[in-house]
Structure 1
Amino acid sequence: MLRPRIVPCLLVHGGGLVKTIGFKDPKYVGDPINAVKIFNEKESDELIVLDIDATAEGREPNFKMIGDLAVECRMPLCYGGGVKTAEQAKRIIGLGVEKVSISSAAIENPQLISQISDEVGRQSVVVVLDVKKKGGGYEVWTHNATRNTGRSVIDLAKEAERCGAGEIVVNSIDNDGQMKGYDLELARQIRQAVGIPMSALGGAGSLKDIGALLSACGVIGAAAGSLFVFKGMYRAVLINYPNPDQKDEIIRAAIGQ
């Protein structure tokens, strides 16, 4: 039986880990390898690592860094950043990464989703959609929230599923780093729009927020950045993750599993 996943999301900028607020003002929070080792010890369900420089700078993925992370990681690892070809995705999977995420490249060229899916398998293809509210809906932005596609997140999520994506990650730019809770309406809309697995990202500030997301959407991934790298009202840097009993309690309270 599928179970909800609680997934730390780490951002790489300038070779180090950072956390942003509204996709701006990256704050250094540590070394990627050290963070992976800690999440290993804490038995994280999965790990997402996004290189936020690669696409913005127009460069290919840092394969050396990816290989180093994959060697250390003892949980399923999803990498994103700078992937523009099926060959790059195949190389990343070959380094020991379970999933490859694509964002702007998938929107600009939906056939890339199909090409990567054919090369590495649908289950390894994740499409990340970064969104902002507009009126009564949501529009997708790319390149670290600097370019508005003008397209509906619902339309793009459905398109990604048709093209062969195995998972959708929907990321709220408005809620990024705010630690005031997920955009539950956004998560519900995506959950209703697609039949493939999905994860929500942006806004989690407590384990209660994760419980609220799971209660609203059922079996999905609850991804978070700030929640797992900061502690306390002063946002002191401390890698943390719920222990197995806490995870089970959250899931049982939310969906009864």
Structure 2
Amino acid sequence: MTGGLEYALIAVAALWGAAAGGLLPRAAHRFAVPAGEEWRSACPQGHPLAGWLGPARCRACRETPYGTGAGTASGTGAGAADGTGAGAGPAYGTGAAVPVTVTALVCAALAAATGTRPELAVWLLLAPAGVLLATVDFRVQRLPDPLTLPFAATALVLLGLTALVPEHAGEWTTALLGALALGAGYFVLFLINPAGMGFGDVKLALGAGAVLGWYGWPTVLLGTLAGFLCGALYGGALVVARKAGRKTSIPFGPFLISGAFAGLLIGAYTA
């Protein structure tokens, strides 16, 4: 791949990541609830939300500013809290800057490592979902089934289609076996220590194993070890900073995803 084409591909991937990241804040707000609770359907002021994707801004709050004690709006006309249009009100949640920046950087790195091989399209489609999963788990230590299971299924289906396209650099069979192997491994860890490994991590491992398995077993091993190393370093840092004890529960999903990302970058670059 020539230098000009490479830079153009990276730039397009970064723009895609920024655009996709801008759609994540509302989904993160709706999914980031403790286990056992229903997904959020309203903004912090109680106005109903329309849709799952988009900025975390409420148009209805422009008409009813925060702190007035207004109840739930009817959801019609100006009361639809979809955050679209010029009249969007105050932001809720943590805003779009972080997901936009992170998703753009992730997509750019994937493009740089993968080049013009067809599996890049799969990585770019899955990357925003990975960022969303990491965000939700980091906030509330929960990996929603509506995200983890479709993530694994989508990865396997798209990689299966990619295997039919010339010039790909992976194997679908290994992706399938990688998903089963990593999912089984995490399931064993869940059985051994349910307090330290949630079942959501087991489901997420299916998708991570599929992505890593595309480039072979060394990539699966590398990505798995990188995830545990990142988690151990984070937990150790919290203990040293006296912000957590040895038995404090930490979200492992972000580190599982980070390890898979690191393994995928190396696997794609060396394929």
For Structure 1 versus Structure 2, the TM-score category normalised by the shorter chain is under 0.3
Which of the two has greater strand per residue? Answer: 1
TM-score, reference length from structure 2: 0.25
Larger radius of gyration: 2
TM-score, reference length from structure 1: 0.26
Which of the two has greater helix per residue? Answer: 2
